[in-house]
Structure 1
Amino acid sequence: MTVFFQLAVTAALALAVVTGAIAYFRSVRTARPPVGVFNGRDIFMMMGFVLALPYVYLALPGGVLPCVLALVFAGGLSVGYQPIIGNGRLRWALIVLLIASVLVAHLSFGETAPPYWVANSAVVGLVVVSATNINVQGGMRLKNVAWFLLALAAYDAFFAWVVPLTQELADAVQGYPYAPAAGLRIGEDFGAVIGMGDLLAYALFTTTAYKAYGKWGLRAGAALVVLFGAVAPVAALHQIAAATGDDPGIVPAQVFFGPAAFVAYQVLRRRGPERRMADLAFGRERADAPRRTPVRAGARPAA
């Protein structure tokens, strides 16, 4: 029963966040940041940020870490949902209500109770939807995401199995609200948790693939999220436990999803060049419309 519970919760949460990111992408346009096109240097900087962030978190005193995470959540919600709720006072009132609901649920029911995880998962999911669209609509291409996820797979494997930084960070947030993860726990026997970074990886790839290749990208992303974001990590976790007799603790989902996403990108790119935001008609869904064939210089237009 534990395996089926973990599979169901993991797949449902991952697909819910991906669906939210796609729905946002189809209906809301974010303000484009004043930067150029994403390139290899941007990916290098993103990986540097990912590398440094856990050390920053671990350097904070225990009681300060949840406060910092709450501020990070609030900032992500404010920036991402400004196009939807233009009234600043109303937007911040709703954000405070969401952030406070997590704290109240934690204090009232505890960190293993379903109400806390439902509230925390809702906030984390909304932040991921926001961050995904800020990056995708800001110019991130599928090529950038594919290389980033491949690097993230190596990073997660190293810091899970060689240097236990991931486990240290998980231990650091134990007992505090605002976990950087979504999931559901029912008592001591049933529990399934997905890291915020994993959810962002799933949403980034699927939304960028949808922008680049329409329904083909969406189908590829959704299939990868289920197979390599939910089924493969959960199955590996239980297979290792059965073979060794010990709980492996952490099995990084990106070890499976990152390489699979990179291969999927190599397949999708054969369909032609990626579409840009300028190629999509916002407000009216035309993401599945065929891409325009570029006209070569000197070519005579068809009659």
Structure 2
Amino acid sequence: MTVLFQLAVGCALALAVCGGAVGYFRTVRTPRPPIGVFNGADIFLMMGFVLALPYLYLALPGAVLPVVLALAFAGGLSVGYQPVIGDGRLRWALIAALIAAVLAAHLAFGDTGAPYWIANSCVVGLVVVSATNINVQGGMRLGNVAWFLLALTAYDAFFAWVVPLTGELSAAIQGYPFAPAAGLRVGEDLGAVLGMGDLLAYALFTTAAYKAYGKAGLRTGLVLVVLFGALAPLATLHIAGAVTGHAPAMIPAQVFFGPAAFLGHLFLRRRGPERRMADITFRRDRIGAAPAPGPARAAA
């Protein structure tokens, strides 16, 4: 029962954020930042940010951490959904309502209550959709995503098994609202939680694959997300527990998904060059007529 619950919740969350990110990509055009083309230096900077962020969180006093996370969620929602809700007052009122709903659910039901996890998962999912499209529509290509996820694989493995930073961060946010994770808990026995970073990895790859190769990229991304993002880590955790008599404390999902995503990129690359943003027809352009593709846009 527990395994089926965890698998169902994991697949549902992963597919929901991927579907939401691709749906946003197909219907909303975000303003393109003047950053030119993503390259190796950009990946290096992103990894530096990923490396530094957990240390910053752990350096904060416990009561300050949820405040910082709430502000980060609010900022991500405001930037990502400005093209959808142009009225700033309305947008911030809705964001405040979402943040308040998470806090109220936590106060009423605690961090193990299903209402809290449903509310928190909605906010995390919306932030992931926002961050995915800011990056993919901003010029991040499938090759960039694949290399980033491969680097993230080494990072997650090192900080889960060599230096237990991931476990320390997980312990630091216990008992507080605004966890950087999505999931569902029902009572004391049933629980399934996916980290926000894992969800972002799934959505980034799937959306970038769709941008690059259309429906073929989308199918490839969704299959890899289900098999190597949801199924493989969970199966390995329970198989290892059955064989050794005790389950490992942590098996990072990126250990499976990162290499699979990189191979998926190599597989899709045989279809030819990636599509550019200028090649894609949007259903609805919420920020006005699309500008003519200049040199930077043509390279995206």
Shift of 1:237: 1.1
Alignment of 1:233 with 2:233, yes or no, is: yes
Which residue in 1 is equivalent to 2:146? 146
Structure 2: distance between partners of 1:103 and 1:268: 43
Which residue in 2 is equivalent to 1:277? 277
Which residue in 1 is equivalent to 2:137? 137
Structure 2: distance between partners of 1:125 and 1:249: 25
Structure 2: distance between partners of 1:255 and 1:154: 8
> In the TM superposition, what whole-angstrom CA distance separates every residue of 1:180-215 from its partner, at most 9, and x where no partner exists?
000001111110000000000000000000000001
Identity of aligned residues (%): 78
Which residue in 2 is equivalent to 1:32? 32
Mapping of residues 287-298 of structure 1, within 5 Å: none
Structure 2: distance between partners of 1:30 and 1:249: 40
Structure with the greater alpha carbon radius of gyration: 1
Letter aligned with residue 282 of structure 1: F
When the two chains are superposed, the root-mean-square deviation of aligned CA atoms in Å is 1.0
Structure 1: distance between partners of 2:117 and 2:138: 31
Which residue in 2 is equivalent to 1:75? 75
Shift of 1:284: 6.6
Which residue in 2 is equivalent to 1:60? 60
Which residue in 2 is equivalent to 1:96? 96
Aligned-partner SS, 2:185: strand
Number of matched residues? 285
Structure 2: distance between partners of 1:39 and 1:122: 32
> In the TM superposition, what whole-angstrom CA distance separates every residue of 1:231-258 from its partner, at most 9, and x where no partner exists?
0011111112212222312110000000
CA contact (8 A) 2:160 2:252 kept: yes
Structure 1: distance between partners of 2:243 and 2:73: 39
Aligned-partner SS, 1:17: helix
Alignment of 1:44 with 2:32, yes or no, is: no
Letter aligned with residue 16 of structure 1: A
Mapping of residues 147-162 of structure 1, within 5 Å: 147-162=147-162
Structure 1: distance between partners of 2:62 and 2:23: 36
Structure 2: distance between partners of 1:188 and 1:243: 25
Structure 2: distance between partners of 1:172 and 1:102: 18
Q: Tell me whether 70-79 or 232-241 shows the greater mean CA deviation.
A: 232-241
Which residue in 1 is equivalent to 2:245? 245
Which residue in 2 is equivalent to 1:288? none
Which residue in 2 is equivalent to 1:121? 121
Gaps of 5+ in 2: 286-300
Aligned-partner SS, 1:158: helix
Which residue in 2 is equivalent to 1:211? 211
Q: Tell me whether 244-253 or 169-178 shows the greater mean CA deviation.
A: 244-253
Structure 2: distance between partners of 1:237 and 1:247: 6
> In the TM superposition, what whole-angstrom CA distance separates every residue of 1:255-280 from its partner, at most 9, and x where no partner exists?
00000000010010010000110111
Letter aligned with residue 175 of structure 1: G
CA contact (8 A) 2:28 2:284 kept: no
TM-score, length of structure 1 as denominator length:
0.93
Letter aligned with residue 93 of structure 2: A
TM-score, length of structure 2 as denominator length:
0.94
CA contact (8 A) 2:76 2:130 kept: yes
Aligned-partner SS, 1:188: coil
Structure 2: distance between partners of 1:117 and 1:270: 41
Letter aligned with residue 180 of structure 1: P
Which residue in 1 is equivalent to 2:196? 196
Structure 2: distance between partners of 1:251 and 1:260: 16
Gaps of 5+ in 1: 286-303
Letter aligned with residue 188 of structure 1: E
Structure 2: distance between partners of 1:151 and 1:142: 14
> In the TM superposition, what whole-angstrom CA distance separates every residue of 1:108-141 from its partner, at most 9, and x where no partner exists?
0111010000000000000000000000000000
Which residue in 1 is equivalent to 2:180? 180
Letter aligned with residue 47 of structure 2: M
Which residue in 2 is equivalent to 1:108? 108
Letter aligned with residue 106 of structure 1: H
Structure 1: distance between partners of 2:53 and 2:236: 27
Which residue in 2 is equivalent to 1:291? none
Aligned-partner SS, 2:184: strand
